[in-house]
Structure 1
Amino acid sequence: MSVELNHTIVWATDREVSAEFLAGILGLPVGPVAGPFRQLTVANGVTLDFATAEGGVPGQHYAFLVGDGEFDAAMARLRAAGVRFWADPFHRVPGEINHESGGRGVYFADPDGHNMELLTRA
């Protein structure tokens, strides 16, 4: 038997705003509504199920492995949208990317403060 991550819930103050934001940065289409969730599907079939939270939203970390071209495109979209980004997960090195594991990486916050990461090498 193999084990795969199928989906995870991303809590948001507004599921539509958060799903549209991340889809826009990643260059992906927003998926369908499935019950209380707005879905966003990534290349390996995992869905991010955005749900509107009652009350506060605790910050989480989500990392996306992308190709070099996808990284460049996402960085262009981050810059065009005026989204702040950092080279590190603690947001101590603003406006830069990292070169860990021989690749490139960047961190940015979504509308609810989730710490999103793009990396080209795992």
Structure 2
Amino acid sequence: MAIQLNHTIVHARDAAASARFLAELLGLGEPVRFGPFHGVELANGVTLDFLDSDDVPLVEHYAFLLSEAEFDQVFERIRARGLPYWADPGHRRLNQINHGDGGRGLYWSDPDGHNLEILTRPYGSGGG
């Protein structure tokens, strides 16, 4: 069997709210409760399993590869909520998108400060 990522745990102050935030922005199905987790399933079967944490969560980075049309839809949801977004992971280029490898990408933060990213071309895939 080929090795595949199945799931990862995302620590959050309010797991249900953070899972819902991500699912709504990405246009995914409602998070599914499984034990202490609120799972957000991606198209490739990987789930992000949000777990309540009393501690301030370690800030992580999650990147989502999507089509140009899906990028437009997610980008519109980000702007409709008035969320700040950046062209770079260091959050220095506010309200800009990047055009890495001939595609488009941007970063924004979830309620716990996790650095979320959408991109239309994988890094190193060419195209500029």
Task: Give the aligned partner of residue 25 of structure 1.
Answer: 25
| Count, aligned residues | 122
Which residue identity does 1:86 align to in structure 2?
Answer: W
SS at match of 1:11: strand
Which residue of structure 2 aligns with residue 81 of structure 1? 81
One-letter amino acid of the counterpart of residue 71, structure 1: F
Find the counterpart in structure 1 of residue 97 from structure 2. Answer: 97
Supply the distance in 1 between the matched residues of 2:32 and 2:117 (Cα, whole angstroms): 24
* SS of the residue 1:86 aligns to: coil
TM-score by length of 1: 0.98
Q: Distance in 1 between matches of 2:7 and 2:30?
A: 15
Q: Is the 8 A contact 2:20 2:31 kept in 1?
A: no
Task: Report the CA distance between 1:29 and its aligned residue.
Answer: 1.3
Runs of 4+ in 1 over 3 A off after TM superposition: none
Q: 1:56, CA displacement in angstroms?
A: 1.1
Where does residue 7 of structure 2 map in the other structure? 7
Q: Please report the RMSD computed on the Cα atoms of aligned residues, expressed in angstroms.
A: 0.7
- Distance in 2 (alpha carbons) for counterparts of 1:31 and 1:114: 18
Q: Percent identity?
A: 52
Distance 1:31 1:18 in 2: 10
1:65 maps to which residue? 65
* Distance in 2 of aligned mates of 1:34 and 1:48: 12
1:37 Cα offset (Å): 0.1
Asked if structure 1 preserves the Cα contact closer than 8 Å seen for 2:60 and 2:115, the reply is yes
Partner of 1:106, secondary structure, is strand
Structure 1 gap segments, 5+ residues each: none
1:46-61 alignment to 2 at 5 Å? 46-61=46-61
User: Structure 2: 5+ residue runs without aligned partners?
Assistant: 123-128
